[in-house]
Amino acid sequence: MNIALIAHDKKKPEMVEFTTAYSFLLGQHQLYATGTTGLKVMEATGLKVHRFQSGPLGGDQQIGAMIASNQMDMVVFLRDPLTAQPHEPDVNALLRLSDVYRIPLATNLASAELLMHALKRGEMHWRELIHQQQEDN
């Protein structure tokens, strides 16, 4: 599975705790992140993460592009709902595309944990079927 990890600045400590707690599981998948989030996750956990640009410099859009080509299977985006972001349109675009392509998306820690439990139980298997269909077409 391709999993995107994104956290706004005030949520980065939470992202580090989350990825540390689930590193045993996340390590079995391909991880993608916006620039600073990815760096913090790699430093804290040793997980291999493909890093895109920082969010305000286009990282959300790069992850959005993967969603638009149906290559992203899950998005964990720990948003800060209490701080205005200069790149709010990019954030909204990413959330919108996740809905367009029906990609499981968690925007807070509680939902992110539920997604991890689903992943562990193999409940994301349907995404592999979608990849298979794409290859067949």
Ligand X SMILES: O=C(CO)COP(=O)(O)O
- Give the annotated binding-site residues for substrate: 8, 12, 34-37, 54-55, 87
Residue nearest to ligand X (CB): 55
Chain-centroid distance of CA 17 in Å reads 15
Which amino acid is located at 57 in the chain? L
| CB 31, CB 58: distance < 8 Å | no
Tell me which residues are annotated as active site: 60
In angstroms, the Cα distances linking 93 to 3, 62, 84, 110, 115 are 18, 11, 16, 23, 21
Residues 6+ apart with CB under 8 A from 110: none
CB of 75 to ligand X, least distance (A): 11
Residue 37 interacts with ligand X (CB under 6 A): yes or no:
yes
b/e 112-136 (16+ beta carbons within 10 angstroms → b)? beebbeebeeeebeebeeeeeeeee
Which residue among 3, 26, 32, 36 contacts ligand X (CB under 6 A)?
36
Which residue among 19, 32, 60, 104 contacts ligand X (CB under 6 A)?
60
Window 74-133: residues binding ligand X (CB under 6 A)? 87, 91
CB of 137 to ligand X, least distance (A): 32
Question: CB-wise, 55 or 104, nearer to ligand X?
Answer: 55
Residue 55 interacts with ligand X (CB under 6 A): yes or no:
yes
Query: Contact residues for ligand X (CB under 6 A)?
Result: 6, 8, 34-37, 54-56, 59-60, 87, 91
